[in-house]
A and B are shown apart, each in its own frame.
Chain A
Amino acid sequence: MTQKTATLTISRFEPGKDTVPGTQSYSVPYLEDWVILDALNYIKDQVDGTLSYRWSCRMGVCGSCGMMVNGEPKLTCSAFIRDYYPQEIRIEPLENFPVIRDLVIDMSDFMDKLTSVQPWIIREKEKPVSEGEYLQTPEQLDSYQQFSQCINCLLCYAACPIFGLETDFIGPAAIALGYRYNLDSRDEGNDKRNDVIKDVNGVWECTFVGECSIVCPKHVDPAAAIQRLKVESAKELMQTLLMPWGRK
């Protein structure tokens, strides 16, 4: 029996040589249990060593292998070829990001935005180690846990048309992670974070398209985080306007 093959049409871009990306088609063996990442690794190992892309854990926890598969942002380690076969599969770099080479995008802008929301526990005074751990009940953990599942894979940024149109928007993942720390009972940094998250380039750019939550592979639901922050913000402004003596 001859080996069945699948066809992948992949975006290629060489910096310094190309001005716009082109495509190249490859034929790979079709195996029932292969994911797209397997096909990419096959191409790089056996067919074309110049193909460039990011990957690491190959099991959906590192967030490295995000790419556009037939126009949808996906983790290529979790997208099975059998779900697309026998149609041709189009692989492109994540949308809305500058392309460095082939399927590798420039995520430095995201890293800056992520840092700006200070995604770590902020405390007025750190408890000394001798005093023991910070205790947290299961309910307190529950309140922020889903938002802590973010693996920074950037699929939500590729899905968000607002991020595509407004590059200053800090974006779903950064806001969801900021929210995760706001909700954490051990954290005291809400005010510092909200200066960024609740500013015009934060939640107020979002028009709740909702695609971010649909494509998220870890079910973080950044859209929910953003809308809840809007409600919180509206309540805070009401309080400030109607009871100015209330808060410092």
Chain B
Amino acid sequence: MKKIKTMEPLWWGLFAAGGMVSAMLVPIHIVLTGIAVPLGWLSEPQALYQLWPVRLYLFVLIALSIFHCGHRIYHPLFHFVHRIYHSLPEFALRVIRRPVAVLVYGGALTGAVATAWVLLGL
């Protein structure tokens, strides 16, 4: 088996998938559940959320998009923190990378797990 040097392409692949999913689907969902329903233009089709295909769709939409957002937030945030502490020696910078990654990707992972839990419990 070819030696794997880094898993980065996998995270990037998920990031790219999440990006396409959120780009195509998030705007309409904001319009529907965030603006149309509260303003009374439409009513939420609650029965729809019971269907398994719909739940699967929502899981993919929410979990993958949250991962995408996590990855996008991590990079600039890491650079921002890195820049603030630019005077630190090299080993200390590696120390920063971990907490920032854990914070952001941990948050994204929690989001994915929470999504699954909510959708399964409906």
A–B interface present (Cβ within 8 A): yes
Residues of chain A at the chain B interface (Cβ within 8 Å): 162, 165-166, 195, 198-200, 204, 207, 230-231, 233-234, 236-238, 240-241, 244-245, 247-248
Interface SS, B side: helix
The answer, among B1, B9, B75, B76, for a CB contact under 8 Å with A236, is B9
Question: Are B83 and A233 interface neighbours, CB within 8 A?
Answer: no
Return the contact of A234 from the options B16, B75, B76 (Cβ within 8 A).
Answer: B16
Chain A residues near B4 (CB, 8 Å)? 237, 240-241
Within 8 A of A (CB), among B1-30: 1-2, 4-10, 12-13, 16
**Measured CA separation A241–B8 after assembly (Å):** 13
Residues of B within 8 Å of A204, CB to CB, are 6, 8, 12
Interface status of B82 (Cβ within 8 A of chain A): yes
Contact A165 B9 (CB under 8 A): no
B8 touches A165 (CB 8 A): no
Interface contact B2-A248, CB-CB below 8 Å: yes
Asked, given contacts A165-B82, A166-B79, whether A234 binds B10 with beta carbons under 8 Å apart, the answer is yes
B8 touching A162, Cβ below 8 Å: no
Contacts of A236 in B (CB 8 A): 2, 9
| Chain B residues near A (Cβ < 8 Å) | 1-2, 4-10, 12-13, 16, 75-76, 79, 82-83
Q: Contact at A247–B2, with CB atoms within 8 Å? A: yes
Chain A residues in 8 Å Cβ range of B83: 165
Q: How far is the CB of B96 from chain A (nearest CB, A)?
A: 13
**In whole angstroms, how far apart are the Cα atoms of A240 and B7 in the complex?**
11
Is there contact, CB below 8 Å, between B6 and A230? no
Q: Give chain A residues whose Cβ lies under 8 Å from the Cβ of B7.
A: 237
Residues of A within 8 A of B13 (CB): 234, 237-238
When the two chains form their complex, are residues A207 and B1 in contact, meaning their CB atoms are under 8 A apart? no
In the complex, residue of chain B having the shortest beta-carbon distance to the beta carbon of A200: B6
Contacts A/B (CB < 8 Å), 7 sampled: A166-B79, A200-B6, A204-B8, A233-B12, A234-B13, A238-B10, A238-B13
Residue of B nearest to A162 (CB): B79
How many angstroms between the C-alpha atoms of A198 and B7 in the bound complex? 11
Decide yes or no: A234 and B12 within 8 Å by CB, A162-B79, A165-B83, A207-B76 being known contacts: yes
Distance A241 CA – B14 CA, assembled complex (angstroms):
15
How far is A195 from B83 in the complex, measured between Cα atoms in Å?
28
A199 neighbours in B (Cβ, 8 Å) = 5-6
CA distance A162 to B76 in the complex (A): 9
Q: Are A200's CB and B8's CB within 8 A?
A: yes
Q: How far is the CA of A238 from the CA of B7 in the complex (A)?
A: 10
**Closest A residue to B72 using CB positions:** A207
